[in-house]
Structure 1
Amino acid sequence: MDIIRFLKNWTLPVSMAAGTILYLIFAYTPVLEHAANFFDPIFDFIFPLFMFLILFVTFCKVDFKKMRPVKWHLWVGMFQVIFSLILVGIILAFGLKGNKLILVESMLTCIIGPCAVAAAVVTEKLGGNLTSMTTYTFISNFITAMLVPVCFPLINPDLSMSFIQSFLLILYKVCIILVVPMILAYIVKHYMRHFHQQIISVKDLSFYLWGASLSIVTGTTVKHICHSDATVGFLLLIAVLGLILCIIQFACGKGIGAYYGSTIDAGQALGQKNTAFAIWIAYTYLNPLSSVGPGCYILWQNIINSIELWDKRRKDEKK
């Protein structure tokens, strides 16, 4: 029972540790090389499926009639837009190249990336407003879908895709991961009530699905770092910048939310990023090494989430 309680209380760090250890075992054990090659494409397929299921389960709990923008959505969205444009402006104004360009690109991916699909899951666990968070998830993904096709061709003019092609590609990926599970959840909630009750009766189902997916994305991040040609010092610099950005975004989000009585919601909305999506856009549009930024951001944001969840449990126990 103590082990089960420990796993429930520390799901996120346990998931990250499991993903790291399993990757290192399979990557550096010669006997397991064929098994590693076999499972690699399987995990690439499973991860988006986990994202889909997490959102589907989360949307099953949402009151769709109450989904509407609120004031803090505007200010958090403006932060994402303004700071993304500032970083793009710095790259263009100073003509950054080499490692300096990679550093700023890694920062850009951590800011321009949309709100994580799991942010609503963590927000619900922390006692925040699930419906308000879900609404902002849509807004944030739409902002990203507009910013990336505009900003990234300016940074990398050698891109083969046109503005319309880039915009539609990103919008398509967002719709598959975000819109389709919402439509299915709406259908299940209103027309398959018995199935809907079975889903929502499983406590914290979406949270544990997120824990499983976190193991996969952590293992993928470790893989990118291990196969990088950069020096350890440069990788550590990217990691530190990711930590600083993570703290700033969580703090600014909570500061914005404090004015509207939505500290938890706004903090998670701005601080918790869809790092898997950010890694994808870094590999697709920028220097692949810049993906280490959002890769490290996974670690920092989930450490902060784990601390927040621990603090929530501590306060609940006192009550």
Structure 2
Amino acid sequence: MRIYMLTYLKNWTLPIAMFLGIIGYPIFLALEFTVPFLVFFMLLLTFSKVPVKEIKIKWHHIFMLFVQLFGALGIYYLLAPFNVIIAEVGMVCFVCPTATAAAVITNKLDGNMNSVTAYTLLSNTAAAFAIPLLFSLVQGSTALSFVDGALLIFYKIFPLLFGPFLAAWVIQKKFHKLHYFLVNKTEFAFYMWAVSLSIAIAKTIEALKNYSISWQLLVGIALMALFVCFAQFYIGKKLGKTSDERIACGQSLGQKNTILAIWMAYTYLNPLVTIGPGAYIFLQNGFNSYQLEVHRRKKELKRK
């Protein structure tokens, strides 16, 4: 019975994490300060499995970056004449860089972690410079200058992305026993991500409580988040199919750093736009849960 229960909890970690984030949001809001530490060690464990020399930018990474940047600009100008807030939701959900946890989910799905790591580095670096410029174009002016905006975003990205990457590289080169230990503990990265997810869900619930919004606009925001989420996972998987990196490319383009997206929306745009990335959290992790369950069942069938 105990083994069955542990297996059940492991298979349904992400839905359980989302549910806990909803019902226990005051508790998880109080734990918000732990997120940088969770992300750092989660990525350190994940990057420890990735040989640095095998991280290479490929043609499909360039195409995905094109979708990320020009998809954001296109959807804004297409929808802005009808509803600026929904247009900005689409833009933010497109331009938001790859989640640092994309490599964790890709690893669980037996995808190419080297490819995801390469695009995560490329996507986040490009976002630091593209986002202030993009928001300046659509807003006419922003509260922050281009240089200040780029530096602020880079400041938020660098410690949580490049810090673990550099630490993992040094450990691989100089500390072989520690590297061996970390490689054998990479499973813990998934559960660190689950705790981070509960905290992110709690932040979304807080945003919904703090802002008054009509149900029509709420539905419109949710549908836009759904469309962008589906489109990016679909395009990513299509691009990756030709190079046998379907899982890696789907996660790279579809799994977003929604915490950064919420911060971007609050800093540059209407606070109501933050609800869009909040909805995206539910959508991308609902889809991740589905993928993990399908993958688990396929592995079980192969064993029989």
TM-score (norm 1): 0.90
| 1:15 and 2:17 matched | yes
**1:75-114 equivalence runs, <5 A:** 75-90=63-78, 94=81, 100-114=83-97
Is the CA contact 2:93–2:277 (under 8 Å) kept in the aligned structure 1?
Answer: yes
User: Is 1:214 aligned to 2:216, yes or no?
Assistant: no
Please state how far the C-alpha of 1:142 moved relative to its aligned partner: 1.6
Q: Is 1:46 matched with 2:34?
A: yes
- Give the drift of 1:44: 3.0
The answer for the alignment partner of 1:279 in structure 2 is 262
State yes or no: 1:256 paired with 2:239.
Answer: yes
CA-CA distance at 1:281 after TM superposition: 0.5
Question: Residues 289-304 of structure 1: matches in 2 within 5 Å?
Answer: 289-304=272-287
2:292 pairs with 1:309: yes
In 2, distance between residues paired with 1:43 and 1:104? 32
Residue correspondence of structure 1 range 23-34 to structure 2 within 5 A: 23=25, 26=26
SS of residue in 2 equivalent to 1:127: coil
CA contact (8 A) 1:115 1:137 kept: yes
Per the TM alignment, residue 224 of structure 1 is displaced from its structure 2 partner at its CA by 0.7
Residue 158 of structure 1: how far off its partner (Å): 4.6
For 1:56 and 1:43, locate their aligned partners in 2 and report how far apart those are by CA, in whole Å.
Answer: 21
Does the 8 Å CA contact 2:143/2:268 hold for their aligned counterparts? no
**Distance between the aligned counterparts of 2:211 and 2:232, measured in 1?**
27
Structure 1 distance, partners of 2:114, 2:295, is: 20
Correspondence for 1:193: 176
- Residue identity in the other structure for 2:97: P
Structure 2 match to 1:74: 62
1:56 alignment counterpart: 44
Alignment partners' CA distance in 1, 2:231 and 2:78 = 19
Q: Which amino acid aligns with 1:4?
A: L
Structure 1 equivalent of residue 4 of structure 2: 2
* Displacement after TM superposition at 1:91 (Å): 6.6
What CA distance in whole angstroms lies between the structure 2 residues aligned with 1:128 and 1:91? 35
Match of 2:209 in 1: 226
Q: Per-residue CA shift, 1:178-237, capped at 9, x if unaligned?
A: 111111111222222222222221251111110111111111111111222102332122
* 2:98 pairs with one of 103, 111, 115: 115
1:14 is aligned with what amino acid?
I
Q: Which shows bigger deviation, 189-198 or 11-20? A: 189-198
One-letter amino acid matched to 2:233: F
Distance in 1 (alpha carbons) for counterparts of 2:274 and 2:188: 29
Question: Distance between the aligned counterparts of 1:318 and 1:254, measured in 2?
Answer: 23
Normalised by the size of structure 2, how large is the TM-score?
A: 0.94
Deviates more, 1:241-250 or 1:113-122: 241-250
- Partner Cα separation in structure 2 for residue 44 and residue 157 of structure 1: 33
Cα deviations by residue, 1:10-29 (Å, 9 ceiling, x for unpaired): 11100000111102xx4xxx
Distance (whole Å) between structure 2 residues aligned to residue 180 and residue 238 of structure 1? 34
Q: Is the 1:88–1:151 contact (alpha carbons within 8 Å) kept by the matching residues of 2?
A: no
Percent of aligned pairs with the same amino acid: 37
The one-letter amino acid of 1:170's match is I
Q: Which runs of 5+ in 2 are unaligned?
A: none
Aligned positions, number:
300
Cα separation, partners in 2 of 1:91 and 1:313, compared to 1, 3 Å: closer
Do the aligned partners of 1:66 and 1:131 also contact (CA within 8 Å) in 2?
yes
CA contact (8 A) 2:46 2:104 kept: yes
Specify the code of the residue in structure 1 equivalent to 2:184: S
Structure 1 runs not aligned, ≥5 long: 27-35
Q: Report the AA paired with residue 20 of structure 2.
A: A
- Whole-Å separation in 2 of the counterparts to 1:64 and 1:223: 39
CA displacement at 1:244 relative to structure 2: 1.7
Look up the SS of the partner of 2:24 in the other structure: helix
| Aligned-partner Cα distance in 2 for 1:217–1:3 | 26
Superposition deviation, residue 143 in structure 1 = 2.0
